Amino acid sequence: MRIGSVLTIASALVFLTAWSEAQSVENADFLQSFRWRGEGEQFGGFSGIEIGANGRDFTAITDKGYFVTGQITRGEGGEITGIEHIPPTSLRTDKGNKLPKFFNDSEGLAIGPDGQAYVSFEAKHRVQAYDVLGLASRNLPKHPDFAEMQNNSSLEALAIDAEGTLIIIPERSNSSSRLPVYRLRQGAEKWDKSHSIPRTGPYLPVGADVGPDGRLYVLERHLAGILGFTSRVRRFDLGPNGPTNEVELFRSGLGVHDNLEGIAAWRDDQGRIRLTMVSDDNFQFFQVTELVEYVVHDAPQS
C-alpha cells in the first residue's frame, strides 16, 4: 500500500474516532473505552480475552500465537484506570515447541470452570487445550468441516459453558442466512453441528462468551473501508434446541471503536452483566489497542 493511502486511512480513522461517540442503544449502555499501551514487537493484535469473576484478573491472546495474563485496575465506580500484565508469552504445540508459521494464528479463547484453557486457530483450523498456557497443548478432535474453511475467516468465536461444552462459530459459512454452531461436549470425540444462529450481514462473528447468566454473547464486526469498523453484540439463550431468543444488545457507529475481536461477559459489583471487549490493532500505527465496556440493561441479580 502506498504511503499516501496509509496516511489517508490513518487520518480518516483518527478523525472518526475523535468525532464519534458511542451510539445510544436499546439494550446496553456504553461505559468506557480505555487505551491499552504495551511494549515490544509482540504487543498488539489481541483477538481473544477472558475476564475473571472479580472483573480484574484477565487472560488475552494475540493473533500471532502469544498470550498475556494480568490485572485490570479499577476505580471506585468500576471504571478501568490501568492494566498490568506479563510480557507476551508464546503459546506451544502439543510437543511443547513454539508455534511455527501458519500454525500460530490464534483467534478464540475460552477458559473452562476447571481452569482449562482452549484456543482456536485459523489457517490450520483447529482447537487446542492447555492445562497451563505457555506449556504443551493437547490436540482436540476436528470436525470434517474445519479443513474446508477459509483462511483468515474460520474459527474466531470460541466459548465454553458451565458444563464444559465448547461452542465455536466460524466467521463465515456457505449459507447467506445461517451460521453453524459447533459443540464439543467434555470428553466427547466428535463435534456436534445440529445447531445454528441467524446470519445477518454485513456483520461477521469474531468473538463469543457464555456469561454467568448462562447466555451466549456473540461479538460481530464489519469493516467499511476507510470509514472504519462497526461492531455489534447479539445475545442468545442456550437450550436443548440450540441458541434461541436472539437479542441485539448494541451496534456501534462507524469508527466509534477499533477492530473489536474478543469479548468477555461477567457480573459486576452491582449484579449487572458487563461486556468487556478488546481490539485487534493489526500491528498498525493508525489503529489502537483498547478495552471497551458496555453494561447490559437486564435487571440486577437478586
Indicate whether 24 pLDDT > 60.
no
Per-residue pLDDT at 13: 43
Integer Cα distance of 111 and 161 in angstroms: 9
Q: Which of 25-34, 48-57, 104-113, 273-282 comes out lowest in average pLDDT?
A: 25-34
pLDDT tens for 81-114 read 999 999 999 999 999 999 998 899 999 999 999 9
Helices assigned H by DSSP within the chain: 3-19
CB 20 within 8 A of CB 34: no
pTM, 2 dp: 0.91
Indicate whether 11 pLDDT > 50.
no
- First CA to last CA across the chain, in angstroms? 54
Indicate whether 296 pLDDT > 60.
yes
Per-residue pLDDT at 299: 57
Integer Cα distance of 84 and 217 in angstroms: 26
Q: Which of 18-32, 36-50, 123-137, 283-297 comes out lowest in average pLDDT?
A: 18-32
pLDDT tens for 241-262 read 999 999 999 999 999 999 999 9
Integer Cα distance of 153 and 143 in angstroms: 16
CA distances to 21, 95, 123, 251, 293 from 28, in Å = 15, 44, 34, 9, 10
Indicate whether 302 pLDDT > 90.
no
pLDDT tens for 182-195 read 999 999 999 999 99
CA distances to 60, 66, 110, 266 from 71, in Å = 11, 17, 17, 15
Indicate whether 196 pLDDT > 50.
yes
